[in-house]
């Protein structure tokens, strides 16, 4: 008796790709915030220390405060030490930054969308949607999970569950890509396949089996 060939779903290694944003698709100048400190006459590292203070950042990426309130609090914190002028200047310059899209990664994700849904999963503020529009990425994904909109942030497993549900995928059939090792480990504990992103070549390697498959209509 002949065994029937596997279905399209059974043949592919994953049914959905869940992908981080910053550090994977969107890249930032590693010296960017320090350069803003210097330009505003502040000690190097001042802006980053104020903006990424864990408790404040957590409020911003879980939606407890808006992006505008986050930046306003950073400005107030800096003003208390350095004065309103330098504080306002550095926060305005910081707020004007949008990062750059890695064209190679975007091309990879665009190709993969012909095989499986691609979901953007980002620990982001309420500004994410505007940034996506500004970078020309508003239609680059099948779904977007912005943690500021759901009230929890990676590595909480609820984030992975929300992302899989957006495209009707089983967690165990999802590939999760992130440049933060702790987020990748959390995804693996939740049952996903996790890939610690380092470069586009690594992403290409782990998704190669998907690219070799026929499209959904084949």
- The position carrying tokens 């993969």 is 112
Architecture of domain 8-28+99-211: 3-Layer(aba) Sandwich (3.40)
Domain residue limits, the chain: 8-28+99-211, 32-95
Q: What is the DSSP string of 19-86?
A: E--BTTTEE--TTHHHHHHHHTTPPTTHHHHHHT-HHHHHHHHTTSS-HHHHHHHHHHHHHHHH-HHH
Backbone angles phi, psi at 174, to 5 degrees: -110, 140
Residue 199 pLDDT exceeds 90: yes
Tokens read off for 116: 């499986």
Tokens read off for 20: 């981080």
Q: Write the CA distances from 187 to 88, 92, 142, 181, integer angstroms.
A: 38, 35, 20, 10
The helix or strand, by DSSP H or E, that contains position 150, with its residue range, turns out to be helix 147-150
DSSP assignment, residue 7?
P
pLDDT in tens, 35-53: 999 999 999 999 999 999 9
Please, which pLDDT band fits residue 211 given cuts at 50, 70 and 90? confident
What integer pLDDT is reported at residue 3 of this predicted model? 36
Q: pTM to 2 decimals?
A: 0.91
Q: Which residue has the higher pLDDT, 145 or 1?
A: 145
pLDDT in tens, 113-133: 999 999 999 999 999 999 999
pLDDT in tens, 141-192: 999 999 999 999 999 999 999 999 999 999 999 999 999 999 999 999 999 9
d(C-alpha 66, C-alpha 60), whole Å: 6
Looking at the DSSP bridge assignments, the partners of residue 121 are 145
């Amino acid at each position: 008796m002949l065994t029937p060939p596997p279905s399209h779903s059974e043949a592919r290694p994953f049914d959905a790709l869940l992908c981080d944003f910053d550090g994977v698709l969107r890249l930032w100048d590693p010296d960017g915030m320090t350069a803003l400190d210097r330009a505003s006459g502040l000690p190097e590292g001042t802006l980053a220390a104020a903006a990424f203070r864990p408790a404040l950042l957590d409020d911003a990426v879980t939606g407890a405060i808006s992006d505008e309130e986050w930046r306003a609090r950073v400005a107030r914190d800096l003003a208390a030490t350095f004065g309103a002028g330098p504080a306002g200047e550095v926060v305005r310059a910081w707020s004007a930054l949008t990062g750059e899209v890695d064209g190679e990664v975007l091309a990879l994700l665009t190709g993969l969308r012909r095989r499986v849904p691609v979901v953007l999963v980002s620990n982001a503020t309420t500004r994410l949607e505007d940034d996506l529009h500004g970078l020309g990425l508003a239609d680059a994904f099948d779904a977007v999970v912005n943690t500021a909109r759901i009230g929890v942030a990676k590595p909480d497993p609820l984030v992975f569950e929300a992302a899989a549900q957006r495209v009707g995928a089983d967690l165990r059939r999802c590939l999760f890509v992130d440049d933060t090792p702790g987020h990748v480990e959390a995804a693996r504990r939740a049952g996903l396949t996790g890939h610690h992103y380092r470069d586009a070549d690594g992403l290409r390697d782990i998704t190669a089996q998907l690219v070799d498959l026929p499209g959904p209509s084949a």
